[in-house]
């Protein structure tokens, strides 16, 4: 279908930018939100905003506009709802360029990923990033379908950590694209039998097949990033 | 029937064990989303509550309940009040 490459995503790391620089690019509204974030999550939160703004700048650039700065963009997010954004600059009509744009963002342990696509025809993105980790059997059973659980049970521990993290990433991305987050149990999202096949593929939602576009990759230092477009 | 204090101690132990945080760092006022590092940890908490109390809690519930004290009241209301 489209966007079948890493170019569809904007990935940033905490080693690339100074916290003070990222903070200075926040709008007053965002700075107010930042103060309400717990101290242990502040840096990841900032990184998420930074990735999102980078993805928006990339999206606007594709429309031929190059003068947008990070501080011109305001990211708004609600509990369990897809984030939205505003452009706080009115030298040209940005509104007409971004009116259909859809944003998804995620951050985990010093890495953030964001994606902006045109939401024309109802298309929606969902992204997730996770550090590869160990999962308890109960958690795997909790978020996998019976078939997925059986498949994971037969893997060695190294492969299990990778696959379980990937399954989680794909499911959370899908739920974000749906716009419901974890309000729907991830076990109701069925992954394709072969998750190594990228591109147009079918997921299931409560057993019903749904056309999906899937991309994922593993970063060198053990993070998986996934992107779903529905 | 368990009283508020007993449920509170249990809930704090579940959170402490699941999220690997000292129980000293958890109070009734602690925010659940602040305590959990990310969505996977939060999901682990849902599974732990489900297992202990037989209550199917959703992520939305946890976010809405917000604090540890809210969860204690929720468990007391749903599980121990007829």
Residue A225 lies in a domain: yes
Residue B11 to residue A110: CA distance in whole angstroms: 30
Domain residues for the domain of B13 are 4-80
Instruction: Provide the shortest C-alpha distance from residue B82 to chain A (in Å).
Output: 27
Residues in B closer than 8 angstroms to A108, CB to CB, are 38
Give the closest of B44, B50, B60 to A183, CB-based: B60
Q: Which two tokens stand for residue A227?
A: 């992107």
* pTM, entire model: 0.90
Residue A84 main-chain phi, psi, to 5 deg: -125, 175
Residues in A closer than 8 angstroms to B20, CB to CB, are none
CATH label of the domain that carries residue B67: 1.10.1200.10
Q: How many structural domains does chain B have?
A: 1
**Is A143 found in the same domain as A100?**
no
Q: Which residue, A96, A123, A150, sits at the end of a domain?
A: A123
pLDDT higher than 80, residue A179: yes
Which pLDDT belongs to residue A19? 84
Q: Which residue, A75, A101, A123, sits at the end of a domain?
A: A123
Calculate mean pLDDT across residues A86-113: 89
**Is A170 found in the same domain as A76?**
no
CATH label of the domain that carries residue A19: 3.90.470.20
Domain residues for the domain of A205 are 127-229
Residue A195 to residue A191: CA distance in whole angstroms: 7
* Residue A5 binned pLDDT confidence (cut-offs 50, 70, 90): very low
Nearest chain B residue to A172 by CA distance is B39
**Is A170 found in the same domain as A97?**
no
**Is A135 found in the same domain as A99?**
no
B59 in A contact zone (CB under 8 Å): yes
Residues in A closer than 8 angstroms to B44, CB to CB, are 136, 139
**Is A115 found in the same domain as A11?**
yes
Query: Is B47 in contact with A80 (Cβ distance < 8 A)?
Result: no
What interface predicted TM-score (ipTM) does this complex get? Answer: 0.86
For residues A71 and A31, the answer to whether their CB atoms sit within 8 Å is no
**Is A201 found in the same domain as A167?**
yes
Residue A73 lies in a domain: yes
> How high does pLDDT run on average in chain B?
87
Residue B26 to residue A8: CA distance in whole angstroms: 40
Q: How many structural domains does chain A have?
A: 2
Residue A1 lies in a domain: no
Q: What is the pLDDT of residues B52-65, one digit of tens each?
A: 988 777 766 766 77
**Is A97 found in the same domain as A67?**
yes
Q: What is the pLDDT of residues A25-72, one digit of tens each?
A: 999 999 999 999 989 899 999 999 999 999 999 999 888 877 889 999
Helix (H) or strand (E) holding A229: strand A223-229
């Amino acid at each position: 279908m489209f966007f079948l490459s890493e170019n569809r995503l904007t990935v940033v790391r905490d080693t690339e930018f100074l916290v003070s620089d990222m903070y200075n690019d926040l709008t007053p509204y965002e700075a107010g939100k930042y103060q309400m974030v717990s101290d242990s999550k502040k840096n990841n939160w900032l990184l998420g905003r930074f990735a999102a703004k980078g993805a928006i700048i990339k999206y606007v650039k594709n429309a031929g506009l190059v003068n947008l700065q990070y501080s011109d963009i305001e990211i708004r997010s609600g509990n369990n709802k897809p984030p939205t954004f505003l452009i706080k600059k009115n030298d040209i009509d940005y509104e007409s360029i971004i009116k259909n744009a859809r944003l998804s963002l995620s951050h985990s342990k010093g890495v953030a990923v964001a994606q902006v696509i045109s939401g024309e025809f109802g298309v929606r993105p969902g992204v997730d990033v996770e550090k590869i980790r160990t999962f308890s059997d109960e958690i795997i059973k909790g978020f996998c379908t019976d078939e997925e659980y059986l498949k994971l049970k037969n893997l060695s521990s190294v492969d299990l950590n990778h696959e379980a993290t990937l399954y989680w990433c794909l499911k959370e991305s899908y739920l974000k694209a749906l716009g419901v987050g974890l309000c729907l149990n991830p076990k109701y999202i069925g992954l394709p039998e072969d998750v190594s096949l990228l591109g147009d593929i079918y997921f299931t939602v409560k057993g019903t097949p749904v056309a999906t576009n899937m991309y994922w990759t593993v970063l060198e230092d053990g993070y998986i990033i996934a992107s779903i477009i529905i | 029937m368990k009283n508020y204090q007993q449920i509170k101690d249990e809930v704090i132990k579940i959170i402490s064990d699941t999220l690997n945080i000292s129980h000293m760092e958890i109070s009734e006022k602690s925010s659940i989303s602040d305590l959990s590092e990310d969505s996977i940890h939060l999901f682990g908490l849902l599974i732990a509550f489900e297992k202990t109390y037989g209550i199917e809690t959703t992520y939305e519930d946890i976010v809405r309940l917000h604090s540890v004290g809210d969860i204690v009241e929720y468990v007391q209301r749903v599980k121990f009040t007829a």
